[in-house]
Structure 1
Amino acid sequence: MRFKYDELSSAPLLINSIYEGGSKRNPAADDPLTKLFKVEGYIKSVGNRGGFRKSNKEIDGKSTSEIGYVVIFTTGKEVEWPDTFYEETGTFIYYGDNRVPGDYLKTKQNGNMLLKDIFEKAYSSPESRKDIPPIFVFKSTGVGFNVEFLGVAVPGIKGKALSDVLELTTGGEGTNQFQNYKAHFTMINIGPEGVSREWLAELKGKNISTNHYAPKEWNNFIENGPERLTPLDSKNKKTIDNTYDVTLPSEKQYLRKVRLTQGKFRENLLNNSPVCKVCGMNMPQLLIASHIKPWRYCNDYERIDSHNGLLLCPTHDAAFDGGYISFDDEGNMVISHLVSSLNSELLRLNIDNKIELDPMQLEYMKWHRDEVFKKK
């Protein structure tokens, strides 16, 4: 099922449904999750930035220190955070919010601290599990700001010990090495009715002794922990999908339709200068027409605007698309501190690299520096 942006404040959370972003061309204003999780009768929603977003309980219009629920947003494309949903087993792997050297528990959003807390409680008593906030998982569809609801995640997996489901991993290289959590969740079977707005309101309340509107499987988790969970598997998902008579085109169909225009986009870039902007490699068959402002955040015009493009070889396209390099208004290369000096040398990256940018590209490149480039 598909919900338009102006419908989100009253929309239920249904598995596999798509929730459309706004059209103001502003990431903060167009974020669908902020509007979707604005619960009637309460002041605060969830944040509009980052992948780990918390919504605190409220009393008399004021936020408390208790977390009502958590929203996880993932693109599934982060190199350091390769979040993955395994539909065949109903399990979801989510990486914590640290990727800098130092104490992995001291992060800006305290995401790793929350992961440690909820996983320990999941493997404790029913009384402890009552303090675990539900986690609603969404993934970018690749079209504008649209997101897909993947389901409700609970910490832990049936038959697995705590040490197996909350692992400490190491990433980065050299002085940039960091530690982070790799957390294993179960996506529970919430049924075709999904998550009601009444449950969201219940979760936002300060003194709730029951989860009257909670899915049955959530209450099962609170009572019994991970050992008796019924995960959302592919068979469950097909049942849910078939429950609704949806005549709108799927997101994948829409993607295929829009991407038919990308041939012209690449052709225009090749006609201008058929070489990699960074290294000069001139094999057209290997060159990639890379969007400066990523395709998923563009409107239809921006997706085919050749000023929003750079021709890059596969290596430099990956570095640019991943936010490891960008360019200032003079065309000088900017390199993320996450790229070691050795890798900079191997990738032929240095601050003396300079490309030509026309005035129409500057606004796109500023967007890339602000929203894609890895500053920390």
Structure 2
Amino acid sequence: MIDSNLSEVDLVVDEVYGGSRNGNASDDPLPALMGVDCGAGFRHLGKRPDTDTLNMLVLKTNFSDINWPDSLNRETGVFTYYGDKHEPGDLHKTPRQGNAMLRSLFDCAHNHQYTQHFPPIFLFGSTGQYRDVQFLGLAVPGVEGMSADEDLVAVWRTTRDRGRFQNYKASFTVLDVATVSRRWISDIQKGNPTSSPHAPKVWLDWVKARKLRALKSSPTSSRRTKSQQLPQDAKDKALVAAIYQRYKERPTDFERCAMEIARLVIPDIHQWELTRPWRDGGRDATGTYRIGASVGHIDVEFALEAKCYADVHGVGVKELSRLISRLRHRQFGILVTTSYLADSAYKELNEDGHPVVVISASDIANITKQKLGSLEALTAWLDRI
């Protein structure tokens, strides 16, 4: 962790930057590190909300707000960030003009003509220790393969007193820039982001030609540990616990819930049906996954196994083998569990190359946060199943 001379250091991806230990707002390292104010998720230099007058935008997330599940996919370099509207009213009228800035940024990004000025966007995530932050990367609006109708969308949410409102869900690409030099940050603070000789080439390529080169990282292991498969945050645990408590005495009823969870995770599931309890033969549901569109599509068959287990009870080799042995030629399997796949079973799955998708407790927490939001919304969703 770097906690001294913050106004002089470079930014290195995944490095942690810390401030003082006074237990108050003065602990925030971002004012010294980036020259921005303290507090809130949207911080800026220059005049907001237009991109023409913004010099820099810093987006900070704590990754723990169940209603606004910001996320970073380190494999693809896609960062999902939610705006700052939390109550009914005009989508763009917020105290810090965060949503207005998002609209301006994405409008400019969708214009493929070269612009003389664009504010660099720096991403930081809270570590949970005091007000320390981790540098997540240099980002730009939009994602390769996403249209202008998809990378910035207004999503509906409901307040505790049932008031409905909209907020932005924005998709950014983290660029393949490992280190941001202090000299460029100094030039940005002076209002010269694009003309600076220290600006990263990857960033300039996007500014000039909208050419994206994402920072992608492959996992060192395809086998997830127990802790990686179980939610670590208390709010995430509560989401999975709500599902487990509802179905722990009715595991057969969980099969329909597991199928709906699979559809959230794998949207292109086309058709499906539950098997009868006395005829399942190791398959709780079967269906097809559609590849392609219109008359040129291909439907690939799958079989699903559902296990409503407590988080201390992993799915073992026996249960996994039961699913694998029932897979027919060119079928793939889906295992949905409120727990985790035991290490021995995961090892066998990987070493033998079996085509099985594992949806564990942490996956359930992540997808329900993204698609449903709050615990109350999850409960209402379960009531409808």
> TM-score interval w.r.t. the shorter chain?
0.5 to 0.7
Aligned-partner SS, 2:67: coil
* TM superposition score normalised by structure 2: 0.54
* 1:111 equivalent in alignment to 2:98: yes
Match status 1:202 vs 2:192: no
Amino acid at match of 1:31: D
The yes-or-no answer on 1:125 pairing with 2:112 is: yes
Local SS of the residue matching 2:168: strand
1:149-173 Cα deviation digits (max 9, x unpaired)? 0001100111211111001100114
Partner Cα separation in structure 2 for residue 19 and residue 31 of structure 1: 9
Q: Write the letter of the residue equivalent to 1:147.
A: V
- Give the match for residue 12 of structure 1: 10
1:159 pairs with 142, 145, 148, which one? Answer: 145
Asked whether the equivalents of residues 171 and 177 of structure 1 are also in contact (C-alpha less than 8 Å), the reply is yes
Contact 1:96/1:112, CA 8 A, preserved across alignment: yes
Seen in structure 2, the aligned counterparts of structure 1 residues 150 and 206 have a Cα distance that, compared at 3 Å, is closer
Cα distance, 1:188 vs. partner? Answer: 0.2
Q: Per-residue deviation at 1:94?
A: 0.4
Match of 2:135 in 1: 149
- SS of residue matched to 2:180: coil
Structure 2 CA distance for aligned equivalents of residues 179 and 79 of structure 1? 16
Q: 1:215-226 residue pairs with structure 2 within 5 A?
A: 215-225=200-210
Residue segments in structure 1 that go unaligned for 5+ positions in a row: 38-44, 58-64, 239-255, 257-337, 344-376
2:36 aligned to which of 25, 32, 46: 46
Within the alignment, does 1:234 sit opposite 2:214 as a pair?
Answer: no
* Mapping of residues 26-45 of structure 1, within 5 Å: 26=24, 28-37=25-34, 45=35
Q: Secondary structure at the match of 2:65?
A: coil
Shift of 1:22: 0.8
Do the aligned partners of 2:118 and 2:193 also contact (CA within 8 Å) in 1? no
Q: What does residue 53 of structure 2 align with?
A: 66
Query: Per the alignment, do residues 339 and 100 of structure 1 end up closer, same or farther by CA in structure 2, a change over 3 Å counting?
Result: farther
Q: Provide, for residues 242-291 of structure 1, a one-character-per-residue CA deviation record: whole Å limited to 9, x for no partner.
A: xxxxxxxxxxxxxx9xxxxxxxxxxxxxxxxxxxxxxxxxxxxxxxxxxx
Measured in 2, the distance between the counterparts of 1:145 and 1:209 equals: 31
Higher helix content, 1 or 2? 1
Matched to 1:82, the amino acid is P
- Written as runs of structure 1 = structure 2, the 5 A alignment for 1:90-101 is 90-101=77-88
Question: Is the Cα contact below 8 Å between 2:120 and 2:193 reproduced in 1?
Answer: no
**CA distance, structure 2, for counterparts of residue 19 and residue 206 of structure 1:** 24
Indicate if the aligned counterparts of 2:119 and 2:193 stay in contact, CA closer than 8 A.
Answer: no
1:142-194 superposed Cα distances (whole Å, 9 cap, x missing partner): 11211110001100111211111001100114642110110000000013xx1
Partner of 2:203, secondary structure, is: helix
- Summarize deviations over 1:169-223 as a string: whole Å, max 9, x none: 00114642110110000000013xx111111121122466623211111001011
CA 1:99–1:35 in 2, change beyond 3 Å: closer, same or farther? same
Instruction: Please state whether the residue corresponding to 2:12 is helix, strand or coil.
Output: coil
Q: Give identity over the alignment, percent.
A: 35
Aligned AA (2:21): S
Aligned twin of 1:211: 196
Q: CA deviation at 1:132?
A: 2.5
Normalising by the residue count of structure 1, what TM-score does the alignment of the two structures yield?
Answer: 0.55
Measure, in 1, the Cα distance between the counterparts of 2:110 and 2:131. 36
Instruction: Decide whether aligned partners of structure 1 residues 207 and 222 sit closer, same or farther in structure 2, where only a CA change above 3 A counts.
Output: closer
- Distance (Å, rounded) in 2 between the aligned partners of 1:132 and 1:14: 22
CA separation of 1:120/1:140 partners in 2, compared to 1, >3 Å: closer, same or farther?
Answer: same
* Number of corresponding residues: 222
Give secondary structure in 1 for the equivalent of 2:84.
coil
Question: CA–CA distance in 1 between the matches of 2:157 and 2:79?
Answer: 20
Q: What letter corresponds to residue 27 of structure 2 in structure 1?
A: D
Cα distance in 1 for partners of 2:75, 2:39 equals: 30
1:1-376 counterparts in 2 under 5 A? Answer: 2-4=1-3, 6-26=4-24, 28-37=25-34, 45-56=35-46, 66-128=53-115, 130-173=116-159, 175-191=162-178, 194-206=179-191, 210-225=195-210, 228-235=211-218
Residues 169 and 209 of structure 1, relative CA distance in 2, 3 Å threshold: closer
Deviation at 1:36, TM superposition (A): 0.6
For residue 120 of structure 1, report the CA deviation from its aligned partner. 1.1
